[in-house]
Amino acid sequence: MWIYEKKLQYPVRVNKCDPNMAKFLIEQYGGADGELAAALRYMNQRYTVPDKVIGILNDIGTEEFAHLEMIATMVYKLTKDATAEQMKEAGLGGHYANHDKALFYHNAAGSPWTATYIQAKGDPIADLYEDIAAEEKARATYQWLINMTDDVDLIDSLSFLREREIVHSQRFREAVEILKADREQKKIF
Amino acid sequence: MYTVRKKYRPYISPFDPCKPMVIKTYETPPQLYLGFQPYNLPQFQPHEALRLGTLWPALYAPYTNPYEDCDRGDD
């Protein structure tokens, strides 16, 4: 169960009318390394990892949903006032034909989100290593998105999200260390 | 000096179709080096931490567009 706080984790301001950027941002919404994939991956894996690291997956998975909302807000703001013609010019003609201005879980190239983006191997090390890789890939996506815009307000929000990926990666790396450690075992020399 | 952005010089062919990027970069943020986070590291002030996305200066690694100061062949 969750308690929903009706505000964004970090403010989202968009300064520049640039519907084309929405097309790229959607990568982080419904792409393989996007926030939806991250949230669902961790929320699902958390059942079958050792007790000591369930909380890390639970908390980070929850935060990914908060990030998903931020990306959604960016995409919405960038497209809500675009005409059909502007959507077309922004490379969103295909999206518009199918969805009007509605958001949809697909990547920047229009491929719909699929569960094959995520994995649950049941082996805690394999799963945590996947999670670390997912965080690094999301961090990289944020870098490429930052490189594609000069909207300082958008960059500000994207930079926040990128920094969170760094922290999440660090925590998953620590989770691996927790599982590697044999602190509870009594060693007799 | 430690930096979170590493640089390298890729091979440049005399037959490359586009003006070469002489220096390529990639990011190596602090989580790659920290290991298990030690206790009692310095912290940002709460309001600052909320803005930056981390409580820990040791994990703070801001990013800028590397193409903005990228080298295009006159190096």
Q: Which of A26, A37, A63, A16 is nearest to A163 (CA)?
A: A63
Model ipTM over 0.95: no
pLDDT at residue A2, as a whole number: 94
Inter-chain CB proximity A160 and B52 less than 8 Å: yes
A177 contact partners, CB below 8 Å, separation of at least 6 = B35, B36
User: B68 falls in which pLDDT band (50, 70, 90)?
Assistant: confident
- A38-41 CB contacts, 8 Å cutoff, 24+ apart: A38/A64, A38/A67, A38/A134, A38/A135, A38/A138, A39/A64, A39/A65, A39/A68, A40/A115, A40/A118, A41/A118, A41/A119, A41/A120, A41/A130, A41/A131, A41/A134
How close, in Å, is residue B56 to chain A by CA atoms? 9
pLDDT at position B34? 95
Is the pLDDT score of B75 beyond 80?
no
- Is residue B74 over pLDDT 60? no
Q: Do B53 and A163 touch (CB under 8 A)?
A: yes
Q: Does A9 touch chain B (CB under 8 A)?
A: no
Say which range, B14-18, B48-52, B70-74, has the weakest mean pLDDT.
B70-74
Q: Which domains does chain A have, with CATH numbers?
A: 19-66+80-101+115-180 (1.20.1260.10)
Distance in angstroms (rounded) separating the CA atoms of residues A175 and A58: 13
Tens of pLDDT along chain A (189 residues)?
A: 999 999 999 999 999 889 999 999 999 999 999 999 999 999 999 999 999 999 999 999 999 999 999 999 999 999 999 999 999 999 999 999 999 999 999 999 999 999 999 999 999 999 999 999 999 999 999 999 999 999 999 999 999 999 999 999 999 999 999 999 866 566 666
Taking each continuous run of H as one helix and of E as one strand, the counts in chain A are: 8, 0
Hey, is the C-beta of B59 within 8 angstroms of any chain A C-beta?
yes
Q: How many whole angstroms separate alpha carbon B12 and alpha carbon B14?
A: 7
Q: Decide if B31 touches A, using CB distance below 8 A.
A: yes
Q: Which residue of B has its CA nearest to A148?
A: B65
Q: Which residues of B touch A169 (CB under 8 A)?
A: 29, 31
Per-residue tokens: B16:
């490359």
